[in-house]
Amino acid sequence: MRGGGGDILTSRDGYEAVALAKEHRPDLVLMDLWIAGLDGISAIGRIREILPNSCISILTGHMDFTCAQKAIRFNVFEYLVKPVRPSDLTQLVLRMKDAVKARGTAEGYERMEDARSPMIADAVLYIQDHYCEKLTLEEVAAKEFMSPAYFSRVFRKEMGVTFSRYVVDLKIRYACRLLKETRYPAYRIAAECGFSDPSYFNRVFAERMNMTPQGYRKELKDNPKD
């Protein structure tokens, strides 16, 4: 957690994380899912009740589709799966800080409404329903009666990431789930996630996860409880 005064706070379990959030009202929160006491998702839910507009991201060693769905419901900013390169973590914190600046100072959160506009919220729901299809920015923009250029700017401002990055991240999360729960070969998983080119899927997966799909599946097999 990063408090409003710039201090970095750490917690030993989920209950302490909630208590720290209530006391210090942090503007940035990085949460693991598998922590002692209260689990990460439940802790995030309670923190959301205290700080409805705080910027929360998940950094965990687990990719769980159910947890990812709950994270979306709690408006989690980013969901990163370990191992994570230090440069990626630095970029995440910088993007979270930018999102906080866009919404105003932490002290003003209690009188602010959610920064996400109804059009973007609707677009996000549509993307989440269709990200495995051949979804384009132009298609989603037209659905919201916005020009592609304007939609792209507003989406990046409100979501903290580009449209293409958001869609690809959803695809990779689903790919991780399929790698864990099925024996599908990589080329079939690529198709299930909406990638027309298996080699491109492998490249994107490696960029996001720091390992190949085969490496990810082997890691799950070798460390089933991680």
Residue range of the domain that includes 208: 164-222
CATH number, domain of 91, equals: 3.40.50.2300
Q: 146 with 181, same domain?
A: no
Q: How many domains does the chain have?
A: 3
Q: 123 with 83, same domain?
A: no
Q: 72 with 144, same domain?
A: no
- The reported pLDDT for the residue numbered 50 is 86
pTM over 0.95: no
Altogether, the residues listed in the chain come to a count of 226
Q: 218 with 182, same domain?
A: yes
Q: 99 with 134, same domain?
A: no
Q: 128 with 190, same domain?
A: no
Q: 25 with 73, same domain?
A: yes
Q: 19 with 44, same domain?
A: yes
CATH number, domain of 186, equals: 1.10.10.60
Q: Say if residues 40 and 60 touch (Cβ distance below 8 Å).
A: yes
- The reported pLDDT for the residue numbered 107 is 39
Chain segment 162-195, per-residue pLDDT in tens = 999 999 999 999 999 999 899 999 999 999 999 9
What is the full DSSP assignment across 83-108?
S--HHHHHHHHHHHHHHHHHH--GGG
Q: Does 118 sit behind a cis peptide bond, omega within 30 degrees of 0 on the bond before it? A: no
Flag whether 9 is in a domain: no
Q: 147 with 169, same domain?
A: no
Flag whether 129 is in a domain: yes
Q: 156 with 172, same domain?
A: no
Q: 19 with 105, same domain?
A: yes
Place of tokens 């304007």: 150
Distance CA 193, CA 175 (A): 6
Question: What residues does 79 pair with on adjacent strands?
Answer: 58
User: What is the pLDDT tens value at each position of the chain, 226 positions in all?
Assistant: 555 555 788 888 889 999 999 888 898 999 988 888 888 889 998 898 888 878 899 888 866 666 776 777 777 888 888 888 888 888 888 888 877 776 653 333 337 344 567 778 888 889 989 999 989 999 998 888 788 898 899 898 888 889 999 999 999 999 999 998 999 999 999 999 999 899 999 999 999 888 999 999 988 888 765 4
φ and ψ at 208, to 5 degrees?
A: -80, -40
Question: Of 86, 111, 136, which one is at a domain's C-terminal end?
Answer: 111
Flag whether 185 is in a domain: yes
Flag whether 218 is in a domain: yes
Question: Of 95, 111, 127, which one is at a domain's C-terminal end?
Answer: 111
Q: 22 with 106, same domain?
A: yes
Question: Residue 194 region, left (φ>0) first, then alpha (ψ -120 to 50), else beta?
Answer: left
- The reported pLDDT for the residue numbered 109 is 35
| Continuous segment of H or E residues that includes residue 60 | strand 55-60
